[in-house]
Amino acid sequence: MAAISIEPGTKGAGPKFVLPDSSDPAYTYGIDVSHHNIDSSGSIDWNEAISKNVRFVFLKATQGSKYIDPTFRSNWQGAESANTKDKVLRVGAYHFFSANVDAQEQANSFIKVMETYAKFSPGKHLPPCLDLEWDYEIKNGKLVTDAAGRPIDRWRNLQPVEIAAKVNTWIDAIKAKYGVEPIIYSNAQWWSSVGLNGNKFGPKIWVADYSAGANSKGKPGTPPNHRWLVWQFTENAYIGKRTFDGNKYLKDAVSFDKDMGILAVGGN
Segment 35-53, tens digit of pLDDT: 988 865 578 999 999 999 9
What pLDDT, on the 0 to 100 scale, is given for residue 7? 44
Nearest of 259, 251, 268, 242 to residue 42 by alpha carbon: 242
Helix (H, G, I), strand (E, B) or coil at 116: helix
What pLDDT, on the 0 to 100 scale, is given for residue 268? 55
Which residue ranges of the chain lie beneath pLDDT 50? 2-10
Q: Is 252 left (phi over 0), alpha (psi -120 to 50) or beta?
A: beta
Can you give the pTM of this predicted structure?
0.93
Alpha-carbon span 247 to 235, nearest angstrom: 9
What pLDDT, on the 0 to 100 scale, is given for residue 6? 42
Task: Tell me, rounded to whole angstroms, the distance of Cα 137 from its chain centroid.
Answer: 20
Query: Angle CA(257)–CA(260)–CA(263) in degrees, nearest 5?
Result: 55
What letter does residue 123 receive in the DSSP assignment? T
Q: Give backbone dihedrals phi and psi of 35, rounded to 5 degrees, phi first.
A: -60, -20
What pLDDT, on the 0 to 100 scale, is given for residue 99? 98
What pLDDT, on the 0 to 100 scale, is given for residue 179? 97
What pLDDT, on the 0 to 100 scale, is given for residue 159? 97
Task: Tell me, rounded to whole angstroms, the distance of Cα 5 from its chain centroid.
Answer: 17
What pLDDT, on the 0 to 100 scale, is given for residue 13? 81
- Please provide the size of the chain in residues: 268
The burial class, CB within 10 Å (0-12 / 13-18 / 19+), for 218 is exposed
Alpha-carbon span 97 to 167, nearest angstrom: 9
Residue type, position 143, single letter: L
